[in-house]
Structure 1
Amino acid sequence: MKTPVHLWIVGGFAVLWNAGGAYDYVMTQTQSAAYLAMMSDAQKAFLDAGPIWFEAAWAVGVWFSMLGALLLLLRSRLAAAAFGLSLIGLIVSSVYSFGIADRSGLDLTPAQLGFTAAIYVVLVLLWIYARKMTRRGVLR
């Protein structure tokens, strides 16, 4: 089956979108002074207090989403599974971030809440798209 043009468009967008999340993850985990300087003391304290399972879920969310994007471009049916695992990581890390963590001083702006919602929307749409392309035989 010939690869539809939209696969390259969606795959390219997915790689660029996920590159932002990967950059954030790497800069935070390596404790880049320049990157962390953009954060408030409350944001830094929030990240420092995160338990290991939060860190693991965050890593799963970020890296499986990037893997899903790359697998999409490689036309692999495993893209849907990677996006699905990423979604699980996102949900688990959100349980900590929005349900368990001490959020003292972390008042999110409407723009920040909107961006968080956009992460969910984009990831769910990528997962659905990859599943649809697998069913159509585009991803093998």
Structure 2
Amino acid sequence: MTEAGKTPWHLWVVGIASFFWHCIPVSDYIGFKTKAAWYLEGAGLKPEQIAWVDAYPIWADAGWALGVWGAMAGSLLLLARSRHAVTAFIVSLVGLAIMSLYQVGMQAAEYKALFGDSILMFLGFIWIVAIALFFYARAMKAQGVLR
């Protein structure tokens, strides 16, 4: 247990890094959903990639939203020292699981063909970060840092 009212320095490092890391998927989500030219052109997305994402079934699209916004909420709640960061990171993991089920479990060949072989390694890295953030928030809650 940490000293009452004392926030460990690493919470700020992890929270700020998490916030900036999750600005990327938030930009992706907003850019795709609004069809923002700055995003679609800047990301170098091909029309067939955009069409594939646009064709997500509603449940996969909902998973994407849960993953993105749950993770950003978790980051902000972590910085606010709220115990609800743990729940938000769980929501993000559920969303990531739904998206992974669709992208890798049901559409793996097309997913790799459209986005390249390295997309699966990047997805694995996303999983590692998401799980680590959940366990970090849970540990901070158990130590009484998150209220």
1:4 matched residue in structure 2: 8
Offset, 1:9:
0.3
In 2, Cα distance between equivalents of 1:48 and 1:115: 21
Deviation at 1:98, TM superposition (A): 1.4
Tell me whether 1:89 sits opposite 2:101 in the alignment.
Answer: no
**Partner amino acid, structure 2, of 1:83:** F
One-letter amino acid of the counterpart of residue 74, structure 2: G
Given candidates 62, 74, 77, the residue that maps to 2:80 is: 74
2:47 is matched with 41
CA deviation after TM superposition for structure 1 residue 107, in Å? 5.1
Aligned AA (1:106) = L
- How far residue 124 of structure 1 moved from its aligned partner, in angstroms, is 0.3
Corresponding residue for 2:28? 24
Residue 15 (structure 1) aligned with residue 22 (structure 2): no
Look up the equivalent residue of 1:80 and give its one-letter code. Answer: V
Cα RMSD, aligned residues only: 1.5
* Residue segments in structure 1 that go unaligned for 5+ positions in a row: none
> Which residue of 2 is the match for residue 109 of structure 1?
117
Identity of aligned residues (%): 44
Contact 2:49 2:115 in 1 (8 A): no
* Structure 2: unaligned runs, 5 residues or longer: none
What is the TM-score normalised by the length of structure 1?
Answer: 0.92
* Normalised TM-score (structure 2): 0.88
User: Are residues 1:126 and 2:130 paired?
Assistant: no
- Does structure 1 conserve the Cα–Cα contact (< 8 Å) formed by 2:67 and 2:93? yes
